[in-house]
Amino acid sequence: MNLLEELSRNEPSCLGQELYAFAASIYPICRSITGDGIRATLAAIQNRIPLNVSDIPSGTAVFDWTIPREWNISDAYIKNAGGNRIVDFREHNLHVVNYSTPVHAVMPLSKLRPHLFSLPAFPDRIPYRTTYYEENWGFCLSHRQLQSLEEGEYEVCIDSSLADGTLTYGEYYIPGNSSDEVLFSSHICHPSLANDNLSGIAIATFLAQFLSGRTLRYSYRFVFAPGTIGAISWLASNRDAAKRICNGLVLTCVGDEGPFHYKKSRRGNAQIDRAMARVLRDSGEEFTLLDFAPYGYDERQFCSPGFNLSVGCLMRSVWGTFPEYHTSADDLSFIQPLALAKSARICVALVDSLESDVRYVRQNPYCEPQLGRRNLYDSSGPDARTANLARLWILNLSDGDYSLSDIAERSGLPFSAIQEAARTLRLAGLLSPVGASLHDD
């Protein structure tokens, strides 16, 4: 089994189009950390994978936090003196500060102004603002529009509700041969923002589809939850499952055309960290490895000291550093099919790497086996040299301590060459896996 090869039979452009189309289909939904937008998003995912959806009632304590009241919104606008909607939620859901309390009033600009938010540095963009834990209301609009507002009376309406309800998240579990789990997590709370994080949702959904029904070494869990409070809720409700997570990846901002960034787990040298470094190195893509820091996305929660899970975060451009971040410019033109497809390939290569990262022992560990009489010494072909070296390295290092990825690292050879050589040597009866292995291809 080589998942990446199988994926490659798909044209990358097809895969990218598919990922992009799914992201585009859920782009218009107004999401928040609770409410119907989340439910609609989970339903869209459920059309593709049999998601298990959980509801945590408002008021439930989750560690240090409390599930807030549920927020829903049907309409919002600012009307000028002429009765025209000059700011209209129906045009862009970023226009309303997320979690705004309901309001309907007429007020002069001077009273309205403290509730208006814009980005002077990017005068054409609408910013993204939230007020989850502080009761308030507000509108976001372009700076250009803000500056053009004339004095006078404005009718302000936010037709929202804050009421006891639930926080909702979805998860999908693919059982493998081992109960050890690999986690993929994406936050689903952002409204119409494409890279952050419809890109992550699209890729996690695809990956779940792709792995579903396969015979796998590890079990896989996909969690789609609101950021922070959602991840905290999942952890609070799944402390046993959390203990089984041996590797995990938070997916965010994986649809733009920036180079890859992998932020390591708090452990810094976990299997996922080494695997991801290798996958990125072998991918030929431009990438940077970042040390763990306790700010970012839900790796913050998975890597909190009580859990300290081996969970890293894959991004292309890094949240907070690209100018489109948390503005209306993070729209469907900011993400690209090919970029999404490449990110998906990285995730598949990661799974491939984790699945294949077996340790072997030589059947007979003394001296070299005679490769020539087994036709295992290639004397021609463009990859003969690499293939021969890979075989020699595996035969030398397969003492039960080195995994295939360790061998790739020490030898400096591509993981794919090591994988291929291991398959060849295993078929030749020269290697046995340490512990159980599924790779009886």
Binding site for a copy of itself (CB under 8 A): 62-65, 133-134, 228, 231-232, 235-236, 266, 293-295, 300-301, 303-308, 362, 364-370, 372-373, 389, 392-393, 395-399, 411
3-state DSSP assignment of residue 151: coil
Question: Closest separation between CB of residue 8 and a copy of itself, Å?
Answer: 30
Question: Closest separation between CB of residue 393 and a copy of itself, Å?
Answer: 6
Q: Which is nearer to a copy of itself, 221 or 362 (CB)?
A: 362
Question: Closest separation between CB of residue 293 and a copy of itself, Å?
Answer: 8
Tokens of 356: 């294949």
User: Smallest Cα–Cα separation from 204: which of 348, 30, 55?
Assistant: 348
Question: Closest separation between CB of residue 303 and a copy of itself, Å?
Answer: 7
Provide the 10 A C-beta neighbour count for residue 237. Answer: 15
Question: Closest separation between CB of residue 300 and a copy of itself, Å?
Answer: 6
Tokens of 92: 């862009």
Residue 149 in contact with residue 82, Cβ under 8 Å? no
Q: Which is nearer to a copy of itself, 356 or 411 (CB)?
A: 411
Residues 6+ apart with CB under 8 A from 189: 31, 32, 33, 38, 226, 227, 230
Q: Which is nearer to a copy of itself, 72 or 304 (CB)?
A: 304
What gap in Å lies between CA 295 and CA 301, rounded to an integer? 10
Residue 33 in contact with residue 189, Cβ under 8 Å? yes
- Dihedral sign computed on CA atoms, order 23, 26, 28, 31: negative
Q: Which is nearer to a copy of itself, 134 or 440 (CB)?
A: 134
Q: Which is nearer to a copy of itself, 278 or 362 (CB)?
A: 362
Q: Which is nearer to a copy of itself, 217 or 221 (CB)?
A: 221
User: Smallest Cα–Cα separation from 273: which of 283, 263, 281?
Assistant: 263
Question: Closest separation between CB of residue 366 and a copy of itself, Å?
Answer: 4
Residue 326 in contact with residue 128, Cβ under 8 Å? yes
